[in-house]
Amino acid sequence: MKLSHLAETLIGSEIVRLGGEIGEKIRNGEKIFNFTVGDFDPKIFPIPKQLENEIIEAYRQHFTNYPAAEGNADLREAIAAFTRDREGLDYQPGEILVSCGGRPLIYALFRSIVDKGDKVIYAVPSWNNNHYTHLSGGEHVVIETTPENHFMPSAEDIRPHIKGATLLCICSPQNPTGTTISKKDLEEICRMVVDENASRPEGAKKLFMMYDQMYWPLTFGEIRHYNPVSLNPGMRNYTVFIDAISKVFAATGVRVGWAFGPAEILQKMKSILGHIGAWAPMAEQKATARFLPQRQQVDEFLHGFRESINDRLERIYDAFMELKREGFSVDAIAPEATIYLTIKIDLVGKTTPAGDTLLSQADVTGYILNTARLAVVPFSAFGARKNSPWYRLSAGTCHLEDIPEMQSKLREAMQGLQ
């Protein structure tokens, strides 16, 4: 059957495929340390009780009809106040667009800005920029980042590609790495974008930045979140922010996300979403509008949530550092933010007890899943090269008591290699 070129060339989600395999193993009774999905076990990380109560009450009040296409006015006002209070960013409700999570907003932004053949700059590993570039017909300009820079792009990485580019994608704190962009690097990138736009002739398409800050309240210790517009007010005309309650309130299934930026771009995104119908549900919008202004409840939830996530990430990081000290070919980057930990499992070339040689990183992924029962997502699923030994580990479904057993199983699996 002949289908569209887009359908024929679109690559499915590697994370979804891997999740399906793991789900099958779990259904068959296997115990798997499933650290793949960027989601939460609600038994471990429930949404804030106040938000839950507001959702229930909104349904009881029969808020079950269509919401406004741009998002309900009360929610956009609450988001504007929340953003102003928490980040010092002054955006009006007319510069805010609500959707059912971040994905439709990212798609709408790409389709609003990127024409076929336009250059889209993004670093790898990063979440889904490769797929959205393909969906919009853009030209992929891929920057391979390194562990030395915590897998974040620098201005010098970007500079050679900036002429004629249409969209620059930055995510911080970053999925999948759990790392953050430094103030210095972001300042330099912003200065470069502003200067590049000033050099373009009148009427020419500008270079815009998508700044995905979905995890911004989830930073640990001395790590601080920075944003382009606060660092360089000249970026206001060129930056579209992507944000949501999904990750910071463990509310991935509640489906309330928002973008904010130049009103002209947001209006075009609204038109695209209007045809797709990707609105956040009415009751969840009403509940979020009522919850965000409850400063004490928000602060109390975030404090406990951050501590609980960071505790898990630190313990897993310590477990990998212990294995590294024991001489095993593993490594990790200390947690900075999000619910993710960057880990390294470098076993290509080793021979298993069954006499099979691990010839590729895919073989390593399969071996640690089948032998150590450890499920993590390779960076290749986020656009990195296929032989990258680095992985994303998600703590959103992690039971603390499982960490020592996971470490022990991984140690045993590696001890069996020659």
Cβ neighbors of 20 (< 8 A, separation 6 or more) are none
CATH classification for the domain delimited by 5-45+299-415, as one of 3.90.1150.10, 3.40.190.10, 3.40.50.150, 3.30.300.160 = 3.90.1150.10
Q: By the 8 A CB rule, do 391 and 369 touch?
A: no
Domains 5-45+299-415 and 49-294 share a fold: no
The CA distance from 45 to 396, in Å, is: 8
Is the alpha carbon torsion for 100, 101, 102, 107 positive or negative?
negative
pLDDT at residue 151, as a whole number: 97
pLDDT at residue 38, as a whole number: 92
Show the low-confidence residues of the chain (pLDDT under 50). Answer: none
The CA distance from 127 to 110, in Å, is: 14
Tell me how far CA of residue 297 lies from CA of 138, 196, 216, 303, in angstroms.
43, 43, 18, 10
Domain-wise residue ranges, the chain: 5-45+299-415, 49-294
CATH classification for the domain delimited by 49-294, as one of 1.20.210.10, 3.40.50.1110, 3.40.640.10, 1.10.1040.10 = 3.40.640.10
Structure-token pair, residue 205: 């398409």
Segment 230-281, tens digit of pLDDT:
999 999 999 999 999 999 999 999 999 999 999 999 999 999 999 999 999 9
Cβ neighbors of 277 (< 8 A, separation 6 or more) are none
